[in-house]
Amino acid sequence: MAETPILVGVGDIINRNLGVHHAAEPAELMLDAITIALQDTGLSSDVITKLKTQIDSIDVVRTWTWPYPDLPGLLAERLGSTPKHSYCSPHAGNQPAKLVDEAARRVASGETKLAVVTGGEALASLAACAKAGVMPPPNWSPVDTPVTQVFAPSMDEMARGVGAKHKIGAPIQVYPLFENGLRAQRGQSLEENNTESAKLYAEFAQVANKTPLAWSFPRTAETEETIDPLLMNAFNTINLAGAVILTSVRYARELGIAQDRWVHVLGGAGTQDSDNFWERPNFHSSPAISRTLDAGLEACGLSKADIDIYDFYSCFPIVPKLACLHLGLDILKPEKPITLLGGLTSFGGAGNNYSMHAITIMARKLRAGSGTNGLVLANGGVLTYQHVICLSSRPRVDSRPYPARNPLPSTLSNDSVPETEESAEGDAIIETYTVDFDRKNEPVLGHIVGRLKSSNHRFVANHGDAATLKRLASKTEEPIGKSGYVRVDAREGKNLFFFEASARL
């Protein structure tokens, strides 16, 4: 008989002390979060001590902070458990929801009896130690690869193919391609779109301002007037960890865990778009977000009308905007909450682990009666990887067992993706774009994704001259849909886009 998976304990920990000798490593923070989650079950300390040895599944969201050779093994050793299943995820922000979904599936099948899913970062402490010249930080676990700097996703690490050739691939470059594409598709001016994003993140900042776990708490919340494009990015320099404990209704009863601790995991779904941004069908939607939301609800026997609370991943405004638009929610005045944490800017990016905290706080909200059903959308990569998990204060209304598999393919295929011309030449039109600025707020590099008029093939290019860069960086002119000319730079082999016809020479 299929088991019914539930969350019975959730825990979070924050270390605000940035002193070098108070630098707790990620494993220590995760162990603290696991301990809090075990205590959250309401069981006695004696029972919890014994329960640690019964943990038979440990999943860890990979940490940016420290390259542990075997983090699940290290946690198991310190907990005194010998799990049959242990796993450390790849880097991606969808992983908390995905790991909870998969752990619930193993509980439902009887493969797992007591599961821990955890993740955490200590990037703020690592940065403080690096600044003080104390590397590695005192008493941190030894690692095979020496750490000399604080990790952050960069163009050098994330760019590939034609993206690398044109120096584009980092999140701070790719997400704006979609923000600009959606803005143009909706007919917004640049000012209207920027105002909308600032208002959205000001609302998120107010949520974080009421959340003691937020890294920005209790500082005065940013406002619509103070939020600029820099504050529409994830802030990752934090020390946070979270953990959840899953088991079955049967084992929870056997342990004596009170029913008011139970939060039902109804199901989940996830998929991804192409890793290459230039191989997406368009730049004003995310098929992975749309398909994941729809399939996640269907897998749980729910409709969007059944959801009382959402938490949408929000590294950049484009993610919650796309989720809202797909679900028919007003972006600025949604009828239901769309963030429980306050977004990756105000709450803190938490590396790959942001949505773990959404799951823990969602569980607490549902226990407290703030709603019946909640949905967490976790996003990773450059609007690439998506996963939904649905939680509830009650069992599935259709009494069906937990979904035996992810209802979506691992990667979506799309026949509408245009062919890419790596070496493009001819009359062209801009499909989307973004501009890199320096620390003096001067434009330095334009990035264009366009279509050749002759074939409708797609290309990636950089700006070809100062006049083109100036127009791309304009705060009033809409470049998308404008015509120009693209040709290959003979010296560097990359595509260059020009607005002026003289580029043909």
Tens digit of each residue's pLDDT (9 = 90 or more) over 105-120: 999 999 999 999 999 9
Pair 317, 200: CB distance under 8 Å: yes
Q: Give per-residue pLDDT as tens, 416-428.
A: 899 999 999 999 9
Residue spans of alpha helices (H) in 83-238: 95-109, 123-132, 155-158, 161-165, 171-186, 190-209
Domains of the chain and any CATH numbers: 5-142+234-392 (3.40.47.10), 426-504 (2.40.50.840)
Stretch 141-146: mean pLDDT:
92
Decide if pLDDT at 205 tops 60: yes
Compute the half-sphere exposure of residue 158: CA atoms within 13 Å on the CB side of its CA: 22
What pLDDT shows up at residue 92?
97
Virtual torsion, Cα 227, 312, 392, 295, nearest 10 deg: 170
Residue 226 — pLDDT band, cuts 50, 70, 90?
A: confident
Q: Identify which of 491, 457, 455, 482 has the alpha carbon closest to the alpha carbon of residue 184.
A: 482
Query: How is residue 203 written in tokens?
Result: 């609302």
Q: How far apart are CA 364 and CA 10, in angstroms?
A: 8
Instruction: Calculate mean pLDDT across residues 376-396.
Output: 98
Within a 10 A sphere around the Cβ of 316, how many other Cβ atoms?
A: 27
Local confidence band at 504 (pLDDT 50, 70, 90 cut-offs): low
Structure tokens at 183: 């803005």
- pLDDT confidence of 452, banded at 50, 70, 90? very high
Give this prediction's pTM: 0.96
Cβ-proximal residues to 453 (8 Å cutoff; 6+ apart), any chain: 426, 427, 428, 429, 483
Query: DSSP string covering 311-330, please?
Result: EE--SSTHHHHHHHHHHT--
- Residue 503 is predicted with a pLDDT of 56
Asked if 177 contacts 446 with a C-beta cutoff of 8 angstroms, the reply is no
Q: At 117, which helix (H) or strand (E)?
A: strand 114-122
Q: In one letter, which amino acid is 315?
A: C
3-class state of residue 12 by DSSP: strand
Q: How many CB atoms lie within 10 A of CB 369?
A: 8
Cβ count near 422 (within 10 Å): 14
pLDDT confidence of 438, banded at 50, 70, 90? very high
What pLDDT sits at residue 315?
A: 94
Distance CA 341, CA 336 (A): 14
- Block residue for tokens 């939020």: 227
The 3 state secondary structure assigned to 449-469 is: EEEECCCCCEEEEEECCHHHH
Relative orientation angle of helices 190-209 and 171-186, to the nearest 10 degrees: 120
pLDDT above 70 covers a percentage of the chain that reads: 97
Do strands 263-272 and 385-392 pair parallel, antiparallel, or not at all (unpaired)? antiparallel
Q: How many C-alpha atoms does 101 have within 13 Å on its Cβ side?
A: 29
- Strand-pair partners of 122: 239
Q: Sign of the CA dihedral 126, 132, 135, 136? A: negative
Instruction: Identify the CA nearest to 411 among candidates 366, 381, 433.
Output: 381
